[in-house]
């Protein structure tokens, strides 16, 4: 079974080495794993929370798309799209907003930090804080839950958001009585989660300590590397590797063997200036071929647009059916459908045809239910590890016909047996008579399906 891995990148800045090492490189490597179904997207709605400068957002979207493609992202393998191309995401955001407790959002780090700053400055606690910032975690939960992602690679600062997405998903599942959402897990690359910047703090645009990935070419890369802060030990003096940003940066690009040689040279007294040259050469070795592709891509924005539009179509083919199911679950049904008992995510058509509804369990298993024309649950399939197998059984039931169905009573429920194996179970009924009636209803439903 494939693991669905999803991550978003906020389109405000220009990619730097920290983004590359901490997010882009591991994400692309993961996408080559046959067991991974990768969804990578540009969080451009999130960008609006951080920036009200259209030109900057626009430029950043282009640069980030070109960067990921230049770094080796294969849009045929990965679903690569823009958040703002998926209308199901804001739609889901609202459905989730309505089950999210305000207190949960009060506790979000980013919001709390903004409040604390205001208080420290003697301002009104919510001064300058938009509702967008406040709602950030819900939008992010929608990003993740719209695709039922299993794993979400993020930096440590985002772990709380993933936990909130889980909380919100659980609450929705519970309130509406179904396994609508898979509970996502944060995935932290322990080795390289945070790359130090020029001043040794985490490399981040907000600290203004970044080393650009492509911007400014090799010249700018070299100049910036020369500005890495080191201690005052002179050439010939032994250097300590422990809190050396320069050494950590080297390690993030070099092999273990290269790193050993480099570390030894520093301990033996290599000067910082020389070490910076070596670091530059090592980074440039990796970056140069990607920069060349980047320059080609960025010169043809129309091609990038085509790739993203295609990615959005792929993404929507997954999000749209899920959101349709959720709309039904919360009661936003079409007027020409039959109402169903509260708490059941059932859909019925006005033409009263039986209907299958597929879903995924917390443990990743694929299952489906069969509902009768009145929206009554008839059957729950067994679990399948492979969605294709679940699909094959659905197909089979589509053509089986009521006369052919083997139904074995089991307590107050019954099993549907196909090829000698129980493949689905009915709900438990109040008594034998109701169970018999339900069996009749199932046979009628199977006949209706076969005749359709
Ligand atoms: N908030 C994330 C960040 O700043 C970006 C993001 C938005 C994201 N939506 C997401 C990451 C969904 C993972 C999944 O890094």
Cα(43) to ligand 1 centroid in Å equals: 7
Spatial contact of 250 and 262, defined as CB atoms under 8 Å apart: yes
Kindly tell me the sign of the dihedral angle through the C-alpha atoms of 417, 422, 428, 432: positive
Give the separation between CA 285 and CA 280, rounded to whole angstroms. Answer: 9
Q: What is the pLDDT of residue 192?
A: 57
Contacts of 376 (CB under 8 A, 6+ apart): 340, 346, 441
Please state the rounded mean pLDDT for residues 225-250. 94
**CATH 2.30.29.80 occupies which residues in the chain?**
334-451
Residues with CB under 6 A from ligand 1: 6-8, 10, 43, 46, 140, 143-144, 152, 154, 158
Phi, psi of 348 (to 5 degrees): -130, 150
How confident is the model over 294-346, as pLDDT tens digits? 999 999 999 999 999 999 999 999 999 999 999 999 999 888 765 555 544 44
- pLDDT(171) > 90: yes
Which ligand 1 atom minimizes the distance to the CA of 9? 5
Q: What is the pLDDT of residue 348?
A: 40
Q: What is the pLDDT of residue 378?
A: 93
Q: What is the pLDDT of residue 156?
A: 83
Q: What is the pLDDT of residue 341?
A: 53
Q: Residue ranges of the alpha helices (H) in 230-270?
A: 245-253, 256-267
214-298: which CATH architecture? Answer: Orthogonal Bundle (1.10)
- pLDDT(434) > 90: no
Cα(282) to ligand 1 centroid in Å equals: 30
Q: What is the pLDDT of residue 339?
A: 56
Cα(350) to ligand 1 centroid in Å equals: 40
Phi, psi of 37 (to 5 degrees): -110, 100
Give the separation between CA 12 and CA 56, rounded to whole angstroms. Answer: 7
- pLDDT(351) > 80: no
Q: What is the pLDDT of residue 350?
A: 45
Of 161-165, 199-203, 221-225, where does mean pLDDT reach its minimum? Answer: 199-203
CATH 3.40.50.920 fits 3-187, yes or no: no
**CATH 1.10.240.10 occupies which residues in the chain?**
214-298
How confident is the model over 100-114, as pLDDT tens digits? 999 999 999 999 999
Give the separation between CA 243 and CA 306, rounded to whole angstroms. Answer: 45
Which ligand 1 atom minimizes the distance to the CA of 139? 9
Q: What is the pLDDT of residue 64?
A: 97
Cα(44) to ligand 1 centroid in Å equals: 10
Give the residue, by CA position, lying nearest to ligand 1 atom 15.
Answer: 9
CA 11, 12, 16: angle at the middle one, nearest 5? 90
Cβ atoms within 10 Å of 261's Cβ, excluding its own: 12
Spatial contact of 286 and 113, defined as CB atoms under 8 Å apart: no
**CATH 3.40.50.620 occupies which residues in the chain?**
3-187
CATH topology of domain 334-451: PH-domain like (2.30.29)
């Amino acid at each position: 079974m494939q693991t669905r891995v999803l991550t978003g990148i906020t389109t405000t800045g220009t990619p730097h080495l920290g983004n590359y090492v901490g997010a882009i490189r591991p994400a692309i490597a993961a996408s080559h794993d046959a067991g991974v179904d990768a969804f990578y997207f540009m969080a451009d709605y999130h960008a609006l929370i951080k920036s009200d400068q259209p030109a900057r957002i626009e430029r950043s979207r282009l640069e980030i798309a070109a960067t990921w493609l230049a770094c080796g992202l294969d849009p045929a393998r990965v679903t690569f799209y823009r958040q703002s191309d998926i209308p199901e995401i804001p739609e889901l955001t609202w459905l989730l907003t309505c089950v999210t407790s305000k207190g949960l959002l009060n506790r979000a780090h980013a919001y709390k930090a903004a409040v604390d700053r205001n208080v420290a400055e003697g301002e009104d606690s919510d001064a300058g804080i938009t509702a967008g910032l406040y709602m950030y975690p819900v939008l992010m939960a929608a990003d993740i839950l719209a695709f039922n992602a299993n794993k979400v690679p993020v930096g440590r600062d985002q772990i709380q958001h993933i936990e909130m997405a889980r909380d919100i998903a659980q609450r929705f599942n519970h309130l509406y009585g179904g396994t609508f959402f898979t509970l996502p897990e944060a995935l932290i690359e322990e080795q390289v989660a945070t790359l130090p910047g020029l001043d040794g703090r985490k490399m981040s645009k907000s600290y203004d300590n970044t080393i650009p990935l492509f911007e400014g070419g090799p010249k700018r890369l070299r100049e910036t590397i020369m500005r890495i802060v080191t201690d005052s030990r002179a050439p010939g003096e032994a250097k300590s590797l422990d809190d050396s940003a320069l050494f950590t940066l080297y390690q993030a690009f070099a092999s273990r063997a290269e790193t050993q040689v480099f570390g030894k040279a520093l301990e033996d007294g290599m000067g910082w200036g020389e070490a910076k040259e070596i670091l530059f050469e090592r980074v440039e070795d990796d970056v140069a071929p990607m920069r060349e592709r980047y320059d080609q891509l960025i010169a043809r924005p129309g091609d990038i647009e085509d790739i993203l539009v295609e990615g959005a179509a792929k993404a929507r083919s997954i999000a749209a059916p899920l959101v349709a199911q959720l709309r039904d679950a919360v009661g936003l049904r079409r007027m020409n459908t039959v109402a169903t008992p509260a708490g059941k995510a059932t859909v019925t058509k006005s033409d009263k045809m039986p209907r299958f509804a597929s879903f995924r369990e917390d443990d990743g298993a694929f299952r489906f239910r069969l509902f009768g024309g009145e929206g009554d649950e008839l059957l729950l399939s067994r679990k399948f590890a492979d969605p294709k197998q679940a699909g094959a059984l659905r197909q089979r039931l589509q053509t089986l016909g009521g006369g052919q169905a083997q139904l074995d009573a089991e307590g107050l429920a019954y099993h549907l047996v196909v090829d000698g194996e129980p493949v689905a179970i009915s709900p438990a009924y109040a008594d034998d008579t109701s169970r018999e009636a339900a069996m009749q209803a199932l046979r009628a439903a199977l006949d209706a399906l076969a005749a359709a």
